[in-house]
């Protein structure tokens, strides 16, 4: 019998997808409390409870041209999307719910007032994790997009939201049907999108892939999905590789120690795992076999894991003409001090010599 974990984080009962009975992936063996706080949720979907965030395996499929999506499912909209993501959209929805993200609704038409209602949902930050010439770090997805209305104008922070898609006629999950994982124009089945109304008419498309920064097609990377990051630890990088926090010079060791301290003191919610996910009323929870010990589901945070932002992100911001090689040296030094790649953010557009096409290669592995 199939059942759907309604995610038990306060949003499921109110969201229409909670009525579905698709089973979320589950583990078959208990895991020790000392495990790394990174777990595979489903094919192509990893949860890093330390931030927390959801990691999605991805591949570059478009380097230039108008965009309707940032990321789509295989064999759907690759001609208008930078990334192809093999994970099932419903599993992405479930993983996002488990780290506490609250879904809203995609764009929809208000017939009573004859107007389109913009998408809603928890604000998000989207980053790409990979191995680039400027380091094994993350970059803002906005760096891969450019304005079609104002050519040459850089795309800064985009108001991403967790819309959550919807159930369509016949009971299917809309994003599963349409492949609409991350959209930049109006799709009524969008899983993640922009909290604004943007027409999908060809003549009104507003964003394009920027070939100056998008890697070659086939490059593998990871798309990171998290609650909006409003307060990264700002680390200024000087042309000679020197570092400053505020007006004080620091070493990589100092910066890593500061990162650990601010991460530990970051505002967090409860320190216990979320409540056990509820099942739909139509089905009951499968019984534990007689004599078997209860096992912790891998879809539940490790014991004692914080359920809101914990690890902070360090933004490595160039001050002056900083070369890619210098930035790589700095990020490597921070990694040697224990700062993971997923915690480092670099905008390649701020570097003095960022190559037009960053090299391909293997993505950074989770953990």
pLDDT by residue (tens digit) across 323-362?
Answer: 999 999 999 999 999 999 999 999 999 999 876 544 455 5
17 band by pLDDT with thresholds 50, 70 and 90: low
DSSP string across 280-326: PTTS-PPPPPTTPPP---TTSPPTT--SS--SPPEEEEE-SS--HHH
Q: Token pair for residue 119?
A: 């998408």
Angstrom distances, CA of residue 293 to CA of 57, 287, 289, 297, 298: 33, 12, 8, 12, 15
Interstrand relation of 81-84 and 69-72 (parallel, antiparallel or unpaired): parallel
Question: pLDDT class for 13, splitting at 50, 70, 90?
Answer: very low
Cis? peptide before 4, omega within 30° of 0: no
The model scores a pTM over 0.75:
yes
Q: Which pLDDT score is estimated for 321? A: 96
pLDDT in tens, 65-82: 999 999 999 999 999 999
pLDDT digits (tens, 9 = 90+) for 107-122: 888 889 989 999 999 9
What is the domain partition of the chain in residue ranges? Answer: 12-25+37-270+307-350
């Amino acid at each position: 019998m199939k059942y759907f974990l309604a995610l038990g984080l306060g949003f499921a009962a109110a969201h229409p997808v909670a009525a579905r009975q698709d089973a979320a992936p589950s583990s078959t063996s208990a895991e020790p409390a000392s495990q790394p706080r990174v777990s595979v949720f489903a094919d192509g979907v990893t949860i890093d409870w330390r931030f927390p965030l959801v990691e999605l395996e991805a591949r570059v499929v478009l380097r230039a041209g108008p965009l309707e999506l940032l990321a789509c499912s295989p064999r759907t909209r690759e001609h208008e999307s930078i990334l192809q993501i093999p994970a099932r959209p419903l599993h992405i929805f479930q993983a996002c719910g488990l780290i506490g993200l609250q879904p809203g609704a995609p764009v929809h038409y208000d017939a009573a007032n004859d107007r389109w209602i913009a998408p809603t949902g928890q604000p998000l930050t989207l980053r790409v994790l990979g191995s680039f010439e400027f380091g094994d770090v993350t970059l803002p997805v906005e760096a891969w997009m450019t304005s079609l209305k104002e050519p040459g104008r850089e795309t800064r922070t985009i108001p991403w939201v967790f819309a959550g898609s919807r159930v369509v006629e016949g009971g299917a999950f809309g994003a599963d049907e349409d492949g609409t994982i991350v959209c930049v124009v109006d799709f009524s089945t969008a899983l993640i999108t922009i909290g604004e109304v943007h027409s999908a008419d060809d003549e009104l498309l507003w964003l394009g892939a920027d070939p100056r920064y998008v890697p070659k097609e086939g490059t593998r990377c990871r798309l990171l999905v998290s609650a909006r990051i409003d307060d990264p630890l700002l680390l200024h990088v000087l042309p000679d590789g020197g570092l400053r926090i505020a007006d004080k010079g620091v070493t990589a060791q100092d910066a890593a120690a500061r990162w650990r301290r601010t991460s530990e003191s970051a505002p967090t919610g409860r320190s216990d795992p979320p409540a056990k996910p509820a099942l739909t009323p139509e089905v009951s929870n499968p019984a534990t076999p007689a004599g078997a010990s209860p096992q912790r589901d891998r879809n539940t945070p490790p014991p004692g894991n914080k359920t809101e932002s914990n690890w902070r992100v360090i933004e490595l911001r160039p001050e002056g003409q900083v070369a890619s090689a210098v930035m790589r040296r700095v990020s490597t030094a921070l990694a040697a001090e224990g700062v993971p790649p997923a915690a480092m953010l670099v905008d390649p557009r701020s570097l003095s010599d960022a190559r037009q096409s960053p090299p391909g290669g293997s993505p950074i592995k989770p953990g």
